[in-house]
Structure 1
Amino acid sequence: MKLLRGVCLLGALLLAAVGSVFAGDATPFYATTVDGLDGKPLVLEQYRGKAVIVNFWARWCPPCRKEIPELIQLQNEYGKRGLVVLGLAIEEDAAAVKEFAKAYEINYTVGVDKKKGLWLMQSLGNGVSGLPFTLIIGKDGQIVQRKIGQFTRKDFDAVADTLLK
């Protein structure tokens, strides 16, 4: 657990070195299937053609917990305009994540898969596997923004106009 918390902190510290904006192809995202909280496969291909905020997180990560209310608010405000917020828990215990999501009143889709989630983060530019890690993917399948560390409303606002047109 201490090692995982260290990775979370390391990811936040490396933010300045890595930067928050990155253009790139989200093909690995669309090719992945993880477990849904309902126990059924969550096929990420279903998000192709949509504006998506993909947030990689874990229950034990303090910055991850802090950004959840922002993500809930973004889903509330922009869901009707086509924005999808998707949380991918880097965890093994789907039942514990489901209980956590209920307690935090998470209103967006959450998938769970530690092994695939770590692979996917690395494939999409997070070589240190730091948490939290957030991607914004445009309708064209291109990564508009990536951030290692706590995601904020300010991060979203920087790309909202382009993302939602």
Structure 2
Amino acid sequence: MRIKFILILSFVFLFVTCSASDNRSNAGADSAGLEKAPDFSVIDLDGNTLTNTDLMGKVVLINFWATWCPPCRQEIPDFIEIYKELKDSGFAILGLAVSDRESNVRRFVKDQGINYPVAMAPDALVAAFQPGQYIPATIIVDPEGNIRDKHVGVMDTTMIKRIFSELKK
């Protein structure tokens, strides 16, 4: 009975941490006084080095996620679709897997056909971006390298297109 209680409590905790949402957005705000995105360099699962300077001039979604998180898994098809549509128009996505094994992430990326760069999130990068305690968490960076929003919860194509059109002006 005690084991069953612990399992149920663990499931509830996992569900709550994965599904919290904070839909505040300052994507259209003036760039004066905005926080600059931290400098970073990651090696994606394909072995390519990706830095913040590589992404300058683009609207960037930096998505903190995990293979075991249901809301994270829910938004990935929309990310795949929108990346395919906008990648040649000054748009980028960087998926940063947290609290997961690289082997699980590699398998998931392959099985889902993820078409944007994915890397394991180094602890220092998580600390630098401070995405919060819940996932999925997406940091939205404007073409000048300013953090424009920190969105917690599932994002969909409509939301992403709105943010892109506001920031790409």
TM-score (norm 2): 0.77
1:27 aligns with 2:27: no
Within the alignment, does 1:110 sit opposite 2:118 as a pair?
yes
1:10-159 matches, within 5 Å, as 10=17, 12-13=19-20, 15=21, 18-22=22-26, 24-28=34-38, 31-39=39-47, 41-91=49-99, 93-122=101-130, 126-127=131-132, 129-159=133-163
1:45/1:5 CA distance change after superposition, 3 Å:
farther
Choose which of 2, 6, 11 in structure 1 pairs with 2:13. 6
Superimposed CA distance per residue, residues 87-138 of structure 1 (whole angstroms, 9 cap, x where no aligned partner): 111145323212210100000011112523431341xxx34x2100012211
CA distance in 1, matches of 2:41, 2:18: 24
Deviating more after overlay: 50-59 vs 65-74 = 50-59
Q: Which amino acid in 1 is paired with 2:162?
A: A
Moved over 4 A (4+): 1-5
Cα offset for 1:48?
Answer: 2.1
1:3-24 C-alpha deviation (Å, 9 max, x unpaired)? 69836623633x3xx4421463
Paired letter, 1:154: T
Change (3 A) 1:57 1:81: same
Whole-angstrom distance in 1 between the partners of 2:91 and 2:108: 23
CA distance in 2, matches of 1:89, 1:130: 13
Evaluate the alpha carbon distance shift between residue 11 and residue 93 of structure 1 in structure 2; reply closer, same or farther with a 3 A threshold: closer
Shift of 1:41: 4.2
1:146/1:44 CA distance change after superposition, 3 Å: same
Does the residue aligned with 1:27 lie in a helix, a strand or coil?
coil
Distance 1:38 1:158, change over 3 A: closer
Alignment length (residue pairs): 156
Which residue identity is paired with 2:161? D
Percent identity at matched positions? 30
Computed over aligned residues only, the root mean square deviation of the Cα atoms, in angstroms, reads 2.7
**Counterparts of 1:83 and 1:3 in 2: how far apart (Å)?**
37
Q: Conserved in 2, the CA contact under 8 Å of 1:53 and 1:86? A: yes
Max radius of gyration: which structure?
Answer: 2
Farther-moved stretch of structure 1 (56-65 vs 95-104): 95-104
